[in-house]
A and B are shown apart, each in its own frame.
Chain A
Amino acid sequence: MPNNTKNIRDIIHGYIPIRQQDLQIIDTDIFQRLRRIKQGYVQTVYPCANHSRFEHSLGVMYLGTKVIEHLKDQLTTEFGVSEKRYYELYNTVIYACLLHDIGHAPFSHIGEKFYDKNEITTILSCQLKENGIIAELHGEAAEHELCSCAIALEYFGEMLKDQIDLELFCRMITGEAYNKKDKRVEDVIISILNSDFDVDKLDYCLRDSFMTGAKIVVLDVDRLISSFIIKDDKSEGRPVLAFSSKSLSTISNFVYGREAVYMWIVSHHITIFTDCIFIRLINHLMEITQKQNEYFGYDAICKDLKDDYDLISFIRHYKKGDAYAEHLYNQLFNRDYYKALWKNYYEYPSTEYHSYLSMVSRTKKTKYGNGLEDLIIKKYPIFSKGDFYIASTDYTKPLAPLQVKDISIVINGKVEKFEKIFAKTFTKDSKTDIPFIFVKDSKRSELLDILTSDKLADL
């Protein structure tokens, strides 16, 4: 443990050591704002899940520090990283982990939908230039990551520029690799924070699992981190961050636990419903008031420090006298929820809904809802706006074959993929991504009649 540290007691990791220089970032208003940004909006199902981006950021920093410390010997011996360069990489990992979420919107991913990506990428380009970074970052990361990078450069770039590799720092947050032969070590470093098995996911799965009370991810973090290893992957022709085989059981615990977190917490039908209603309520009020920039513009985040409380106050103030907004507000805050036609995949009679799925395919996503609702309302006057909602999960499915393929484990000196090693227990039929429909009781039978008949085809 470094000298001159403070220790912050964390519910997941125990004492997290904080260096004096880290406090210059943590004890600022812009970082403290994260205390007022909830990690997710799942407390409608799990009332204890009130954890914020603040403790998550500290947790990710703690895990990132442990990983880079563990990799020190390998980096300095096998990969020829000098002691001086190692400490630059060490600090880069610490600060990228600490600041990776500093640009999150009020209510995290719900608010992120209202960010203007063009504005953020333009500001980030300027920040990169001002900090002497000539990298061609393509800006294909999520809005909050681009915003985090821009804020970090604007507020802490001057302070950090002599301690860290600023370009690598930005690439760690945005997940954009170098793809250059002389930057292969740096690409491995990026994957500590941004890959299919990174310290960000590790912390939020542990934290969500614990704070909800579900406790479905329980694993030996020290054992897992001690098994991190950098290994040449012949199929990819470059070194990758992998796990040694000594933590096979811990990795499988994590992967299956992560699936459970998504299925029963993130994709719980009530979480999907409240996310859907919340987004529509914000969208409706922003359209009326034209105040999107005041709550989700770059300056709103880093200068006005807009947080969850500001957004709730805004909603309470502007919903008054607006029937649709009041209707959405009452559902959300008075727990006056519509019932879901099905609550999970096992209740979802997909064979009866093929016409419906076909329609969803044509109308699946607009930014704030589903176009199929408008079509049904237009064709059948019995329905009016707000009688039913169509929504689907908006999160990456953790156990999809796509995600698990990228988790590398070293078996007998060779890099293998999780899916292959766990072929017997891993099922690709884990079906979790279905569209949900929420309808008011009085219109349930009419809606079912349309969804299960050929009437949809006439829309």
Chain B
Amino acid sequence: MDSKNVLISTTPVVLSYFAMNKKGTRQEVTKVVFDVANKMKGTNLSMDAVFRGYFPEGPIKSETVDNELWYWFSNNFLKECPDSDDNDVCFEKNIDQGLTVKKTFEEYKIKNLPKNLKEINWGDDANRIRFIEILSEALPCAE
């Protein structure tokens, strides 16, 4: 077993969040990523993210999660919700962009994850399985 720590980017968590939920605010997504990062403690996994703010129950900010959301927003995978309010920006899947976007989010649904996420260098497949378990526990599943 490769005991080396595996550093996971926020990408699979953010994309899985939107695969399983129609929409989410910046704070909701950040909290889920923070939750996943916390659940990784004591395992070989760790989250490549920086969090700031009011741990554990207050508002949390993360430049890393902002960056991730901005990446997918910039590239039209996400768009701003029409009913986004003044307090927190809300994102939803940009399914108008066609099949590629739909297919990508489909791959990140929890039920499809076991056969995906193989591109990351996990060291040991047990790390991948553990990550999927953690993600399943942390994600609110509206769809």
Q: Which residue numbers of A lie inside 8 Å of B, CB to CB?
A: 117-118, 136, 138, 140-142, 174-179, 194, 235-236, 345, 350, 354-355, 357-358, 361-367, 371-372, 374-375, 392, 394-397, 400-403, 405-406, 417, 420, 428, 431-435
CB distance from A455 to the nearest CB of B (A): 14
A417 vs B119: C-alpha distance in the bound complex, in angstroms? 41
Q: In the complex, which of the residues B49, B58, B80, B117 contacts A401, with contact meaning CB atoms closer than 8 Å? A: B80
CA distance A345 to B97 in the complex (A): 18
A176 and B5 in contact, given A361-B11, A400-B70 (Cβ under 8 angstroms): no
* Residue of chain A at shortest CB distance from B50: A142
A362 to B76, CA, bound (A): 16
| Contact A428/B80 with A142-B50, A176-B55, A177-B54 known, Cβ cut-off 8 Å | yes
Does B13 make an interface contact (CB < 8 A)?
Answer: no
Q: What separation, in Å, do the CA atoms of A136 and B101 have in the docked complex?
A: 41
Beta-carbon contact of A392 and B71 below 8 Å: yes
Are B63 and A375 in contact (CB-based, < 8 A)? no
- Can you name 21 A-B pairs with beta carbons within 8 Å? A117-B46, A118-B5, A118-B46, A138-B56, A140-B50, A141-B50, A174-B52, A176-B53, A177-B58, A179-B53, A179-B58, A354-B97, A357-B77, A357-B100, A358-B100, A362-B107, A362-B117, A364-B11, A366-B121, A371-B119, A396-B70
Our pick among B9, B104, B117 for the contact of A365 (Cβ within 8 Å) is B9
Q: Is B135 an interface residue (CB 8 A)?
A: no
Query: Beyond A179-B55, A354-B97, A362-B116, is A367–B7 a contact (Cβ under 8 Å)?
Result: yes
Chain A residues with CB under 8 Å of B129's CB are: none
Interface size on B, residues (CB 8 A): 51
Chain A residue, CB-CB nearest to B63: A396
In the complex, what distance in Å separates the CA atom of A374 from the CA atom of B101? 23
Residue in contact with A141 in the complex, picked from B46, B52, B88, B98, CB distance below 8 Å: B52
Q: A397 touches which one: B15, B54, B66, B87 (CB < 8 A)? A: B66
**Closest Cβ–Cβ distance, residue A358 to chain B (whole Å):** 5
Q: Which of B9, B63, B70, B100 contacts A433 (CB 8 A)?
A: B70
In the bound assembly, the distance between CA atoms of A118 and B73 in angstroms comes to 32
Q: Are A431 and B74 in contact (CB under 8 A)?
A: yes
User: Which partner residue on chain A sits nearest B100 by CB separation?
Assistant: A354
A403 contacts B50, CB within 8 Å?
A: no
Q: Which residues of A contact B15 (CB under 8 A)?
A: 361
Determine the distance from Cα of A366 to Cα of B12 in the docked complex, in whole angstroms: 12
User: Of B55, B63, B76, B88, which is within 8 A of A138 by CB?
Assistant: B55
Measured between alpha carbons, how far is A364 from B69 in the docked complex, in Å? Answer: 13
- Give the distance in Å from the alpha carbon of A428 to the alpha carbon of B90 in the complex: 13
List 10 A-B pairs, minimum CB-CB distance, nearest first: A179-B54, A140-B51, A175-B52, A365-B9, A371-B119, A354-B100, A433-B74, A400-B70, A396-B63, A179-B58
Check if B26 is an interface residue, CB within 8 A of chain A: yes
